[in-house]
């Protein structure tokens, strides 16, 4: 298999890393993944972690090889810092702004793409990895302009004009959900088997409450508990309500972003489905676009535009 | 000491319990506390936990004794459930609505006061313990009507008309702060020695951001991290900013409650000072009222009004 690999695309995340061997005609001919995410590596450990992935893909050591990397390998705590581009950012220039990390084996030419930041006082923001998915989106949806949403641990809202990222914002919704569901009194209301219809009803109630009073989040959260205590709400309803409250509040905060276009949602299918349901509540249409397709299309596009 | 105790006042919380021996003329002549809060006790364990407190106060076993209890002992998971009063609630009737728990030793007459709830669909809410502090407040500030705020793990906002509790709301601000500060990526930005002036500056920045965009909380939270990452903000600033964002968002959610009266703040001095600083940002005056004074005045008043 290794013979036909022309270059290697790598998405280096916080908790894991994925690599794909790409043939000369752009097809994926090999792939590998590991748990060697940024959170587990010192800078010196990256070359060996990369070599392991190449070995897993049966790519012979020693031969010349080009590797293009996006994500957390370029963070300050990563392999080598790849300074942020600033918005408005031309995403076509991602590979051009990439840095070459140290310590790779002879013959291996690795580059790490930058993330994007906003330095405005009072609205500082950063992304690493999503900028590559957004470049990929511009390849997958030629001519697209408008709002795209990337649900996840830290969800990103981004306005694109072709390959130009004009502005973006983050929301800690996914991580806040986990912290509240596991480490507050609300956890007592969430334990139990999931009944999907009840969870959906709870989610819709949560979105409705959040859209009506998005500034009341810290109070509405307590209704996860009082709903169980006073109104006999089930754990499934409570779990859906918590999720709906948080996603609904996030949507309320960004509701004036974008226009009437269908909103691409890039992320895990289950999570994107919830965002789609929430966006529908404010009359916005959306569609799910595969996240891995976006990452790969972004790395391919960055390399071609070099 | 035990000889002069006419009755015993008890505040039974989730994580600890406090008891006071009250003389016939209303003075405190003994006190005791323990870690035997509701979270650590089965219903059967309460009588022994109470006996230990009485022993600590040198109150002789066997003699007739009256004990009036407020707080979580009356929760469903407590000693014996004391059903909630509903708002609007006449707090003068708290002792009248108290329940007698099981298993106390001969001669001991114990009563547990109810909490207060709101059952309105979509705005269910509960308090247990704070209703007694509010009754106490009406005793400490005769003729007071208006808004009182009780900062804590679950902060309560309450509108009083004398001894009548007309409405109230909860906010999980304290518990959300702890969950985010300890169990999210934000913890990396908070570790370090506290420089008070930087923390205050961060707090004020957080309150300002929250009051300007209270619906953007889930995004503004990320600025704790980006402030450290992009603008070199110190851990002290970040800690203050997180606190200011949450308290400011809570205040924004309740900003149309109450009138122009000075707002009594009932809780720990340090936390009440932060709420006072936040309330000042929307032009509201406040004063700190000692929380233990309120609890004791509330139990005394409830007993006298029986």
Calpha distance B267→B150 (Å, rounded): 6
Q: Does residue B169 belong to any structural domain of this protein?
A: no
Give the residue among B13, B254, B306 at the shortest CA–CA distance from B125.
B254
pLDDT of residue A301: 97
Bridge-partner residues for A116, per DSSP? A85, A127
Cis status of the peptide bond prior to B88, with omega within 30 of 0: yes
pLDDT of residue B3: 54
| Interchain pair A213, B176: CB under 8 A | no
Within 10 angstroms of residue B219's Cβ, the number of other Cβ atoms is 24
**CB A70 within 8 Å of CB A129:** yes
Q: Does residue B143 belong to any structural domain of this protein?
A: no
- CA gyration radius for chain B? 21
- Taking CB atoms and an 8 Å cutoff, what residues of chain B touch A246? 218
pLDDT of residue A123: 85
pLDDT of residue B61: 84
Mutation choice for B interface testing from A150, A187, A219 by most B CBs within 10 A: A219
- Taking CB atoms and an 8 Å cutoff, what residues of chain A touch B178? 183
| Interchain pair A171, B124: CB under 8 A | no
Calpha distance A197→A264 (Å, rounded): 26
Interface of B with A in 3-62 (CB under 8 A): none
| Interchain pair B219, A126: CB under 8 A | no
Residues A154 and A243 in one domain: yes
- Residue B100: strand, helix, or coil: coil
Q: Which of A99, A128, A157 is the last residue of a domain?
A: A128
- Taking CB atoms and an 8 Å cutoff, what residues of chain A touch B213? 253
Residue of A nearest to B155 (CA): A219
Residues A187 and A299 in one domain: yes
| Interchain pair B219, A249: CB under 8 A | no
Cα B261 vs. chain centroid, distance in angstroms? 21
Calpha distance B296→B306 (Å, rounded): 16
- Taking CB atoms and an 8 Å cutoff, what residues of chain B touch A250? 218-219
pLDDT of residue B264: 98
The CATH number for A208's domain is 3.30.420.310
Q: Does residue B163 belong to any structural domain of this protein?
A: no
The crossing angle, in degrees rounded to 10, of helices A196-212 and A269-280 is 50
Q: Across chain B, which distance is largest between two alpha carbons, in Å? A: 68
Q: Which residue has the tokens 């949560």?
A: A206
Task: Detail the DSSP E strand segments found in chain B.
Answer: 5-12, 17-23, 28-34, 65-71, 85-86, 89-90, 108-112, 116-118, 125-127, 145-150, 155-161, 164-171, 263-267, 286-290
Residues A158 and A295 in one domain: yes
- Taking CB atoms and an 8 Å cutoff, what residues of chain A touch B231? 119, 121, 124
> Smallest Cβ distance to B230: which of A126, A154, A175?
A126
pLDDT at B1 over 50: no
Pairing type for strands B164-171 and B89-90 reads: antiparallel
Q: Does residue A137 belong to any structural domain of this protein?
A: no
Q: Which of A67, A99, A128 is the last residue of a domain?
A: A128
**CB A274 within 8 Å of CB A280:** no
Calpha distance A174→B89 (Å, rounded): 39
Strand order across the A155-161 sheet: A89-90, A164-171, A155-161, A145-150, A263-267, A286-290
**CB B55 within 8 Å of CB B27:** no
Mean pLDDT, residues B156-184 = 97
Within 10 angstroms of residue A143's Cβ, the number of other Cβ atoms is 6
ipTM of the complex in this document: 0.94
How far apart, in Å, do the first and last CA atoms of chain B sit? Answer: 27
- Taking CB atoms and an 8 Å cutoff, what residues of chain B touch A74? none
Residues A119 and A162 in one domain: no
> Smallest Cβ distance to B249: which of A215, A226, A246?
A215
**CB A65 within 8 Å of CB A59:** yes
- Taking CB atoms and an 8 Å cutoff, what residues of chain B touch A126? 226, 229-230
Residue of A nearest to B185 (CA): A175
pLDDT tens-digit series, residues A216-237: 999 999 999 999 889 999 999 9
Q: Is A188 on the interface with B (CB under 8 A)?
A: no
Distance from CA of B226 to the nearest CA of A (A): 6
pLDDT tens-digit series, residues B87-137: 999 999 999 999 999 899 899 999 999 999 999 878 899 999 999 999 999
pLDDT tens-digit series, residues B242-273: 999 999 999 999 999 999 999 999 999 999 99
Q: Does residue B52 belong to any structural domain of this protein?
A: yes
Q: Which domain holds residue B26?
A: 1-84+96-122
The first and second tokens of residue B250, run together, are 């809570």
- Taking CB atoms and an 8 Å cutoff, what residues of chain B touch A182? 183
Q: Does residue A136 belong to any structural domain of this protein?
A: no
Calpha distance B50→B61 (Å, rounded): 11
Residues A66 and A12 in one domain: yes
Give the residue among B218, B178, B239, B213 at the shortest CA–CA distance from A174.
B218
Distance from CA of A206 to the nearest CA of B (A): 10
Give the residue among A154, A151, A153, A156 at the shortest CA–CA distance from A169.
A156
Interface A-B: count of C-beta contacts within 8 A = 130
Pairing type for strands A5-12 and A65-71 reads: parallel
**CB A62 within 8 Å of CB A107:** yes
Say how many domains are in chain A. 2
Q: Does residue B91 belong to any structural domain of this protein?
A: no
Mutation choice for B interface testing from A190, A202, A218, A223 by most B CBs within 10 A: A218
Band of pLDDT at residue A38, cut at 50, 70 and 90: very high
Residues A88 and A237 in one domain: no
Could you give the C-alpha distances from B295 to A121, A258, B8, B49, B292, in angstroms and in order? 45, 52, 13, 20, 5
pLDDT tens-digit series, residues A120-168: 878 899 999 999 999 999 999 999 999 999 999 999 999 999 999 999 9
How far apart, in Å, do the first and last CA atoms of chain A sit? Answer: 27
pLDDT of residue B2: 44
pLDDT tens-digit series, residues A41-94: 999 999 999 999 999 999 988 889 999 999 999 999 999 999 999 999 999 999
DSSP string, B24-35: TTS-EEEEEEES
Residues A59 and A180 in one domain: no
Q: Is B282 on the interface with A (CB under 8 A)?
A: no
Q: To the nearest whole number, what is the mean pLDDT of chain B?
A: 96
Interface of B with A in 189-228 (CB under 8 A): 209, 213-219, 221-223, 226-227
Band of pLDDT at residue B216, cut at 50, 70 and 90: very high
pLDDT tens-digit series, residues B265-292: 999 999 999 999 999 999 999 999 999 9
Q: Does residue B231 belong to any structural domain of this protein?
A: no
| Interchain pair B122, A218: CB under 8 A | no
The conformation of residue B195, written as its DSSP 8-state character, comes to -
pLDDT tens-digit series, residues A90-124: 999 999 999 999 899 899 999 999 999 999 878 89
pLDDT of residue A306: 85
Q: Which of A64, A96, A128 is the last residue of a domain?
A: A128
The CATH number for A85's domain is 3.30.420.300
Give the residue among A151, A159, A145 at the shortest CA–CA distance from A251.
A151
Interface of A with B in 51-70 (CB under 8 A): none
- Residue A113: strand, helix, or coil: coil
Pairing type for strands A65-71 and A108-112 reads: parallel
């Amino acid at each position: 298999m290794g013979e036909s690999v022309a270059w290697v695309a790598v998405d280096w995340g916080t908790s894991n890393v994925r690599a794909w061997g790409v043939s000369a005609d752009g097809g994926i001919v090999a792939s590998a993944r590991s748990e060697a995410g940024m959170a587990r590596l010192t800078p010196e450990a990256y070359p060996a972690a990369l070599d392991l992935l190449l070995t897993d893909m049966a790519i012979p050591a020693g031969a010349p090889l080009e590797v293009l990397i996006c994500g957390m390998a370029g963070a300050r705590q990563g392999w080598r810092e790849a300074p942020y581009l600033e918005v408005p950012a031309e995403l076509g220039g991602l590979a051009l702004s990439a840095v070459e990390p140290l310590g790779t084996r002879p013959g291996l030419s690795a580059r790490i793409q930058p993330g994007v930041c906003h330095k405005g006082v009072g609205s500082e923001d950063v992304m690493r990895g999503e900028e590559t998915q957004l470049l990929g989106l511009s390849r997958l949806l030629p001519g697209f302009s408008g709002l795209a949403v990337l649900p996840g641990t830290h969800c990103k809202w981004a306005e694109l004009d072709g390959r130009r990222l004009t502005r973006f914002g983050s929301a800690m919704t996914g991580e806040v959900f986990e912290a509240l569901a596991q480490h507050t009194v609300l956890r007592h209301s969430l334990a139990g088997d999931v009944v999907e219809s009840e969870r959906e009803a709870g989610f819709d109630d949560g979105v409705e409450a959040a859209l009506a009073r998005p500034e009341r989040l810290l109070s509405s959260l307590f209704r996860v508990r009082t709903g169980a205590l006073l109104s006999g709400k089930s754990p499934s309803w409570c779990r859906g309500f918590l999720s709906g409250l948080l996603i609904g509040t996030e949507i309320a905060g960004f509701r004036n972003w974008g226009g009437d276009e269908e909103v691409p949602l890039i992320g895990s299918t289950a999570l994107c489905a919830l965002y789609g349901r929430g966006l529908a509540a404010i009359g916005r249409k959306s569609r799910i676009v595969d996240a891995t397709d976006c990452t790969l299309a972004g790395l391919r596009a960055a390399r071609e535009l070099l």
